[in-house]
Every structure is written in C-alpha cells, then in structure tokens.
Structure 1
Amino acid sequence: MALNNTYEARLVQQETAVGAGVQILLLALLGSAIGMGPAGWLTGLAFATATWAVLSRALHRTRPRSFGPANRVTLGRAILVGGVTALVADSFESSPPVTLLVGLTAVALILDGVDGKVARRTGTSTALGARFDMEVDAFLILVLSVYVSTRLGPWVLLIGAMRYVFVAAAKLAPWLNAPLPPSMARKTVAAMQGICLLLAGADLLPYAGDLAVVLLALGSLVWSFGRDVAWLWRNERRTAAEAAAGAEETDTTVAALERELLELAVR
C-alpha cells in the first residue's frame, strides 16, 4: 500500500509540473505574438513558479490519491490567469493587446463555472480544490483591478485588495475565520467583479460607462463583505454569550453540589 501511495503522489506532482510547462508554453506563444517585453516575461515566469511551488506544497501536505478532474480545470484557469498577468505587466511598457487580454480573461471567467460542477458530478470536491479555485479567482480580480486602475484611478485597486485585506484582518481577529452560511448573493457579487472589470478593461464603453460599471462592482463588494463581517461579529458575540451562560450554569451546579455535601456533612 505504501508503494501505491508513493506512485500516486508522483503522478499528482507530475500534473503540476505539466501545468507549469504549459504556462511557460503560453508565455512563449504570447511573446511571439505581441513581442512581450521583460516585465511581461518576468511576471509570467514568477507567477508560474509561485503557482507550482504553492500547489505542490499543498498537495504534499494533503496527499490526495489523484489530482482530480476539477483541479485540472482550475489549473487550466490558473494558466490563463498567468497569461493575463503577463499581459497586464507588459502593458506598463507598451500598448496592451486588448483583444487578446479580454479573450484570455473571458475564457478564465467562463471556466470558473465549470470546475465546481465537475467536482460535484464526479464526487471529487475537496477543501484543497475549493481553496485553489478561490485563490485563482482572487488573483484574477486583483490583476484586472490593476489593469483597470491605470485608466480609472488607484481606487479601483480596492476591488482586488479587499479579499486580501480580509484575510490579513482575520490574522488579528480570529473570529473572522468562522465558516459563513452559503449565500447566493455572495456568489453573485463575486462573479460580478470579474465581469465588470472585464467590461471596463475591454474599452467598449465611454469613460463614464466604465466608471459606473466599476463603481457598481465596488459598491456591491463592500456591501457583501460588510454583511458577512456583521454576521461573523454577531456569531462571535452569540458564541461568547453561550459559552458564558454555560460556564455560569456549571458554576451554579457546582455550588449546589457543594451545599448539598456540606449539609450532609453537618447531619
């Protein structure tokens, strides 16, 4: 059995290595198509290396028997996000290929609705897969917010940074790590961010139209995070109150037992 586990682990690691190789191939294709500069190449390679290293470490820690079809879809999305990241970095040195950037982003956003369905249908849903999917989504939103901010202003970065600020805050306030109840509104708002930023980045609308779309995205995101933080705060207070009530009940019970024992001793 140990040999079989080692063999499966090796196959899983091979899939991540193939993903890194495909990422480099995509960068090479983009480089030959648009003459990508050093910033795009270095950023794309850094993304590929970081993704491979973090994913390999997570797989080594969780030791799944196989990488799984849903994770393959998410890995494909990550490769596309790496291409988008390289194009955005390259846009600071030269005019961005908007059509190519929009095309890669659109495919990545479409596939975002695929990996979850694949996981459910194949019965391969895992905590690692859900976290992998979430991190790819969050990084794509961050990269798109960087791109759109060059036209609309630095305030757009709030969209991409909000999730990372929440994660950092949870380090200081552990009650923010409590699981949230499922919410269709939360999922809808999360999906809106990529669509709105893609629309603004496609340069199809006038400035006022792009501004309205991105403000809508930011407003809905602030509302969603605010609602979740308020729920987590109420949950923390309720949990603390229940714990205090339980401790008080225990103290009362102990005191009653002590009185009974004292009365028996007196008799």
Structure 2
Amino acid sequence: MAVQERYDTRPFAPDTTAGMGVQLLVLEVLCRAVGMGTTGWLTGSAFAVVTWVVLTLALRRSWTGAFGPANRVTLARTILVGGVTALVADSFERRPPVAVLVALAAVALVLDAVDGQVARRTGTATALGARFDMEVDAFLILVLCVYVAVPLGAWVLAIGLMRYAFVAASWVLPWLRGALPHSMARKTVAALQGIVLVVAGAGILPRASAAAAVAVALALLAWSFGRDIGWLWRVRARPGGAGRGGTAARAPVAGEGRGVSVRS
C-alpha cells in the first residue's frame, strides 16, 4: 500500500493536465489571432505533450506530496515558453508576429524571478522545483537562440547549447557534477542571456549592434562556465569535493533556482 501511495500521481494530475490543456488553448489563440500555421501548432502541441509526460514522471519519482504554488508559477512560464517555441518554429515558414513572440518571452523571463520568491515565502523550495525552473529557463534560451540565429548566424546557438554540452561532458567527467558555491556573478550573467536575446530578437537594434550585444553575452557566458569548470577541477580531489561525487547545488543556466542551484 505504501508503494502504491508513493507512486500515485493523482494529487498532481489536475495541475499537469490543466497545464497541457491551457497550452493547447494558447496555441489555438495564436492560430486565430496572429495566423500561426500548422508547423507552429504541431510543434507547440508536441511541446505540451512532452512537458506533461516528463513532468508527470519527475513528480512520480520525487513524490513531493503537493505540486505547490511555486511550481504552478513555473508551469505558467512553461506555457509561455511553449507559445514562443511554436512561434519560432512557425517563423521558418512565414513572417512571425515579433511583438507577440517578444512579449511572451519577456513575461516568461520576468516570471523567472517570481517562482523563486513564491517558493521561499511559502516554504516549498524543493530540488524538483529548482530543476523544473532551470530546465524551463534553459529551453527558452535555446529557442530564443534559434530565432536570433536566423538573422545573426549559427554562432548564436552556442549560448543555448553551452549548458547542454556541459551536461553531456558531466556524463563522462563526474567531477563536473560537483558542488559549486553561490555566485551573484553567475546569476547575473545567466539572466543577461535572456535579456540580450529578447532585445536582439525584437529587431529594435541595428544588426551590427545586436550582433555585438549577443557576442558580449556569449563571451560572458563562456567566462562564467570556464570559471566554474576551473573551480570544479581545482577541488575535484578534495574530501567531499567534486572528485568525490559531491551532489550539492550546481549552477543554473538562468537564475539561481529555488534555493537549489543546478547546472545539470
């Protein structure tokens, strides 16, 4: 009976299922309001289904007992990211509604600061919540990179792919999964990526200026990752350090998460 209760996901079903339903509703609104085509709708629908499956499985494994208000804020951000993803996919076939795309992305970035505050004030900060928050941030950055890479060049994708490359490297080099200390510089650099990509995607800057801004953001991100990798390398052989399989907080892609910072 205890095992069945541990893996019973019914407490989360209303939240995760409602989230998928709202995502599909948002996609339908985008189709009718801004003329988003089939490619965008199918991409957004796939995003909704995959999100529902992954989140349900994660909740089943972690069993936090309740979805929580902070996770609901993050779920709302996920829905906005789904809309951005659909519009970016559709932009390869037709001129995208830039104002709508930028507005959705901007609100998603602003809400990134809200879910963490909600988690701390309600005492509902969890490792799952931090991971959920971080994965949403990472995917939004990657999607924005895809959008901005069209006018500026494929090199922009390095911003969105850097975190995933770090995760892949950590599968081979376990010391990369070690604990990192809190860093305001890391948090600032991570937050800057989304801001710069939204501004560049909005088309309000000349192309040369947008490219320069994104290049600076990429350079800062490379410095941030390089500094963290150097720190992990130096402490890898210390007792309790990265080389001993430390599993404490790790640096996020955008923001410090909800009391638990994770890069992977």
TM-score (norm 2): 0.88
- Tell me what 1:78 maps to: 78
- Tell me what 1:61 maps to: 61
- Tell me what 1:202 maps to: 202
Q: Distance in 2 between matches of 1:36 and 1:5?
A: 43
Q: Distance in 2 between matches of 1:116 and 1:225?
A: 23
**Cα distance per residue 1:67-118 (max 9 Å; x no partner):** 0000000000000000000000000000010000010011000000000010
- Tell me what 1:227 maps to: 227
SS in 2 for 1:237: coil
RMSD between superposed Cα atoms in Å:
2.0
Amino acid at match of 2:174: P
In terms of fraction of residues, the more helix-rich structure is 1
Contact 2:6/2:63 (8 A) holds in 1: no
- Tell me what 1:190 maps to: 190
Deviation at 1:2, TM superposition (A): 5.8
Query: Are 1:165 and 2:165 counterparts?
Result: yes
Contact 1:34/1:97 (8 A) holds in 2: yes
- Tell me what 1:111 maps to: 111
- Tell me what 2:259 maps to: none
Deviation at 1:50, TM superposition (A): 0.7
SS in 1 for 2:12: helix
- Tell me what 1:12 maps to: 12
Amino acid at match of 2:41: W
- Tell me what 1:37 maps to: 37
Amino acid at match of 1:105: A
Q: Distance in 1 between matches of 2:28 and 2:64?
A: 31
Contact 1:145/1:157 (8 A) holds in 2: yes
Deviation at 1:237, TM superposition (A): 3.5
Amino acid at match of 2:72: R
Query: Could you say which structure has the greater relative contact order, defined with CA pairs below 8 angstroms and 6 or more residues apart?
Result: 2
Query: Are 1:238 and 2:238 counterparts?
Result: yes
Cα separation, partners in 2 of 1:75 and 1:186, compared to 1, 3 Å: same
SS in 2 for 1:10: coil
Unaligned runs of 5+ in 1: 244-267
Cα separation, partners in 2 of 1:8 and 1:121, compared to 1, 3 Å: farther
User: What are the within-5 Å matches in structure 2 for residues 206-221 of structure 1?
Assistant: 206-221=206-221
Structure 1, 30-39 or 147-156: larger mean CA deviation: 30-39
Extract structure 1 runs of 4+ deviating beyond 6 A. Answer: none
Query: Are 1:26 and 2:26 counterparts?
Result: yes
Contact 2:105/2:198 (8 A) holds in 1: yes
Deviation at 1:6, TM superposition (A): 7.5
Q: Distance in 1 between matches of 2:218 and 2:189?
A: 10
Q: Identity percentage over the alignment?
A: 64
Deviation at 1:5, TM superposition (A): 5.0
Unaligned runs of 5+ in 2: 244-264
Q: Distance in 2 between matches of 1:220 and 1:180?
A: 18
- Tell me what 2:135 maps to: 135
Contact 1:149/1:155 (8 A) holds in 2: yes
- Tell me what 1:252 maps to: none
- Tell me what 1:255 maps to: none
SS in 2 for 1:181: coil
TM-score (norm 1): 0.87
Cα separation, partners in 2 of 1:25 and 1:240, compared to 1, 3 Å: closer
Aligned residue pairs total: 242
Contact 1:5/1:65 (8 A) holds in 2: no
- Tell me what 2:92 maps to: 92
SS in 2 for 1:158: helix
Q: Distance in 2 between matches of 1:235 and 1:151?
A: 41
